[in-house]
Amino acid sequence: MSTSANRSTPSARTVFFISDGTGITAETFGHSVLTQFDLRFKQIRLPFIDTLDKAHDALRKINDAYELDGQRPIIFSTLVKANLSKVVRQSKGMHMDLIQTFVEPLEQELGVKSTHTIGRSHTSTDSEEYKNRIEAINFSLAHDDGQSNKNLAEADVILVGVSRSGKTPTSLFLAMQYGIKAANYPLIPDDFAREKLPGGLLEYKSKIFGLSIAPDRLAEIRNERLPGSKYAALANCRYEVNEAEKMMRREGIRWMSSTTKSIEEISATILQEIKSEHRTD
Amino acid sequence: MSTSANRSTPSARTVFFISDGTGITAETFGHSVLTQFDLRFKQIRLPFIDTLDKAHDALRKINDAYELDGQRPIIFSTLVKANLSKVVRQSKGMHMDLIQTFVEPLEQELGVKSTHTIGRSHTSTDSEEYKNRIEAINFSLAHDDGQSNKNLAEADVILVGVSRSGKTPTSLFLAMQYGIKAANYPLIPDDFAREKLPGGLLEYKSKIFGLSIAPDRLAEIRNERLPGSKYAALANCRYEVNEAEKMMRREGIRWMSSTTKSIEEISATILQEIKSEHRTD
């Protein structure tokens, strides 16, 4: 999947993500499937399709795209209500209906009817899971970049690493996606001179997880922020990364390289380390 | 779907999320489907299943769960490689294979073979989309809670609302999920006394989006943070919410209530307002 040109070409199919909720599930899943194809797609989100009027409106949009493109649009949908789904299915698209495809076989397997609730499990703002996620986001923000030593006992994980090794976005993703309370602390030249972890972290060593990064990649990232600075110089990046890795080895801290990994991949790896089996919810 | 007891009961099926990548797609989708059932599930994540050895290990875990539970485990998988998928399919589970189910029909429809790339579109750290997301996260963090007036011209949206109306988690979610640069500004009693929006925002009025909240819900949230304070008192919450809504009406600012909405729902609604059709990627 790659960026579509502004002008539509015969090969650029239109893809619709249609949902009675936010459409995030349909879109996440659709992206994952479309990534398998080296083609360009025009993408249109239609969230909150929760009435017959809106379903008919969606039907018209799909048929309009068909007329315009001369090709069937592809539709990823998570419409729980059968009457809405039925309307959209009348359109001239190729239908990938995630609910019908999987919920009906599951009803058979589980021997119960589905409740036809809408959307992701954590769209319910009353659920414990949702409250935990919001609490984790607030915790991770309050403990970003070594801002606070307070309540570290509550942290699920404490990320350490040199400045710009990926700690902040990873902490926020862990909180948002998994409800993990993730604090993060920079390892800075002062720590290397003292040859000690930042104060206050020692007693939580079992919760610490390190991020490292290739010095040339780090220099690239830092140069975008402070071009030509000593902070961004390759020699300095080499020094900091080397010292940080030395410290983590000495302290027996688990760590991984963030160089070629997305925040999703880093987070999923850390999650495996800190709780390999997730048995709640 | 509800929280499972520690002790497994006959009704608690084991569910596996299996992927050669992070497993986020399998898990997000699986949650969405399982939410349709008012049952408890034991959930096990098996990400990064990218070798035959690991696939055989997954197979064993599924069969062990079958023996233990006396019921078929349910498997949501996004294994792109056919040889890995084949191993896992030999297990005694009920298989919901997201790739096979949808990729193969799409190959027919599009008339091309899939590239069998792994995972979500934005797990590639080199893609423009990924870089935009990281940049948006940094922007949203730097512009959280009115911290900075710098570069507001770059913002895609500027959220305003009283303290604890949901601005911060929404800004971060918009950045993380959609690559939207979302600044946020609190509306505080000083602004109400001056009867003016916070300084520096006026010239960006078209990008402002407001969040409001029911005063009793706000009092509840604030009381968790500062119990018994004037800040959290219902009368004060009523005053602030009333003044904020008055200001937004006077300034012609679009707004919505966050009271019963998740950050996903708020974000998807805002996204619709600021760009109803998303034509890139």
A268 is a domain residue: yes
Do B147 and B92 share a structural domain? no
Do A268 and A150 share a structural domain? yes
Do B91 and B146 share a structural domain? no
Looking up residue B17, the CATH number of its domain turns out to be 3.40.50
B164 is a domain residue: yes
What ipTM does the predicted assembly reach?
A: 0.85
Q: Answer whether B165 touches A (CB < 8 Å).
A: no
Distance, in Å, from the CA atom of A224 to the CA atom of A274, rounded to the nearest integer, reads: 33
- Residue to substitute from B262, B270, B277, B280, interface A, most A β-carbons within 10 A: B262
Share of chain A above pLDDT 90, in %: 69
Average pLDDT of chain A to the nearest whole number = 89
Q: Give the end of a domain, one of B61, B80, B115.
A: B115
A97 is a domain residue: yes
Binding site residue list of B for ADP: 161-168
Measured between CB atoms, which of A115, A137, A268 is closest to B38? A115
B6 is a domain residue: no
Give the model confidence (pLDDT) of B221-230 as tens digits.
999 989 999 9
Alpha-carbon torsion angle A145, A147, A149, A151, nearest 10? -90
More confident site: B211 or B117: B211
Q: Answer whether B180 touches A (CB < 8 Å).
A: no
Distance, in Å, from the CA atom of A105 to the CA atom of B94, rounded to the nearest integer, reads: 9
Give the residue-averaged pLDDT of B10-27: 88
Distance, in Å, from the CA atom of A20 to the CA atom of A49, rounded to the nearest integer, reads: 4
Give the residue-averaged pLDDT of B34-45: 89
What separation in angstroms does the CA of B264 have from each of A6, B170, B260?
A: 28, 8, 12
Q: How many CA atoms lie within 13 A of B185 on its CB side?
A: 26
Q: Give the end of a domain, one of A94, A119, A144.
A: A119
Instruction: Dig out the tokens for A9 from the structure.
Output: 């070409």
A76 is a domain residue: yes
pLDDT score, position A150: 86
Distance, in Å, from the CA atom of A251 to the CA atom of B54, rounded to the nearest integer, reads: 30
Which range marks the domain in which residue A67 is found? 13-119
In this structure, are residues B87 and B50 in contact, taking their beta carbons and an 8 Å threshold? no
Do B102 and B20 share a structural domain? yes
Chain A residues touching B119 at Cβ < 8 A: 32, 35, 264
Measured between CB atoms, which of A103, A271, A277 is closest to B33? A103
pLDDT score, position B75: 97
Do B132 and B91 share a structural domain? no
Measured between CB atoms, which of A120, A271, A279 is closest to B32? A120
Do A136 and A74 share a structural domain? no
Q: Give the end of a domain, one of A119, A151, A179.
A: A119
Give the model confidence (pLDDT) of A125-181 as tens digits.
778 888 999 999 999 999 999 988 888 999 999 999 999 999 999 999 999 999 999
Distance, in Å, from the CA atom of A164 to the CA atom of A101, rounded to the nearest integer, reads: 43
- Kindly determine whether residue A169 and residue B177, on different chains, have CB atoms separated by under 8 Å: no
pLDDT greater than 70 at residue A118: no
With a CB-CB cutoff of 8 Å, which residues 45-74 of chain A face chain B? Answer: 45, 47-48, 72, 74
| pLDDT band at residue B1 under the 50/70/90 scheme | low
pLDDT greater than 70 at residue B6: no
pLDDT greater than 50 at residue B279: no
A20 is a domain residue: yes
Do A128 and A252 share a structural domain? yes
Measured between CB atoms, which of B28, B37, B173 is closest to A176? B173
Split into its structural domains, chain A has a count of: 2
Distance, in Å, from the CA atom of B133 to the CA atom of B125, rounded to the nearest integer, reads: 10
Instruction: Dig out the tokens for B83 from the structure.
Output: 């040889």
Do A34 and A135 share a structural domain? no
B281 is a domain residue: no
Q: Answer whether B25 touches A (CB < 8 Å).
A: yes
- Please tell me the distance in Å from B124's CA to the nearest CA on chain A: 7
pLDDT score, position A80: 85
Q: What's chain B look like in SS3?
A: CECCCCCCCCCCEEEEEEECCCCHHHHHHHHHHHCCCCCEEEEEEECCCCCHHHHHHHHHHHHHHHHHHCCCCEEEEECCCHHHHHHHHCCCCEEEEHHHHHHHHHHHHHCCCCCCCCCCHHHCCCCHHHHHHHHHHHHHHHCHHHCCCCCHHHCCEEEEECCCCCHHHHHHHHHHHHCCCEEEEECCHHHHHHCCCCCCCHHHHHHEEEEECCHHHHHHHHHHHCCCCCCCCHHHHHHHHHHHHHHHHHHCCEEEECCCCCHHHHHHHHHHHHCCCCCCC
pLDDT greater than 60 at residue A123: no
Distance, in Å, from the CA atom of B244 to the CA atom of B249, rounded to the nearest integer, reads: 9
- Kindly determine whether residue A125 and residue B262, on different chains, have CB atoms separated by under 8 Å: yes
Measured between CB atoms, which of B44, B94, B168 is closest to A277? B44
Comparing A154-168, B47-61, B137-151, B168-182, which segment has the lowest mean pLDDT? B137-151
Distance, in Å, from the CA atom of B260 to the CA atom of B263, rounded to the nearest integer, reads: 10
Residue A138 three-state SS: helix
Q: Answer whether B9 touches A (CB < 8 Å).
A: no
Chain A residues touching B279 at Cβ < 8 A: 4, 6, 42-44
Do B158 and B263 share a structural domain? yes
B3 is a domain residue: no
- Kindly determine whether residue A45 and residue B271, on different chains, have CB atoms separated by under 8 Å: yes
Give the closest residue to A184 by CA, choosing from A106, A270, A117: A270
| pLDDT band at residue B278 under the 50/70/90 scheme | very low
Distance, in Å, from the CA atom of A21 to the CA atom of A7, rounded to the nearest integer, reads: 30
Share of chain B above pLDDT 70, in %: 91
Instruction: Dig out the tokens for B128 from the structure.
Output: 């423009």
Residue A23 CB contacts under 8 Å (≥ 6 apart), including other chains: A17, A45, A46, A47, A48, A78, B268
pLDDT score, position A120: 47
- For residue A198, the 8-state DSSP code is P
Residue whose structure tokens are 């194809």:
A37
pLDDT score, position A197: 93
Do A130 and A93 share a structural domain? no
Chain A residues touching B22 at Cβ < 8 A: 264-265, 267-268
What are the backbone dihedrals phi and psi of residue B266, each rounded to the nearest 5 degrees, phi first? -60, -45
Q: Answer whether A114 touches B (CB < 8 Å).
A: yes
- Kindly determine whether residue B98 and residue A33, on different chains, have CB atoms separated by under 8 Å: yes
Give the residue-averaged pLDDT of B187-213: 94
Chain B residues touching A43 at Cβ < 8 A: 278-281
More confident site: A62 or A1: A62
Give the residue-averaged pLDDT of A5-21: 75
Do A56 and A174 share a structural domain? no
Share of chain A above pLDDT 70, in %: 91
Please give the single-letter amino acid code of residue B185.
Y
Give the residue-averaged pLDDT of A247-256: 96
| pLDDT band at residue A71 under the 50/70/90 scheme | very high
What separation in angstroms does the CA of B148 have from each of B133, B138, B140, B141, B143?
A: 20, 12, 10, 10, 5
Do A72 and A158 share a structural domain? no
Nearest CA in chain B to A20: B265
Instruction: Dig out the tokens for B85 from the structure.
Output: 């998928």
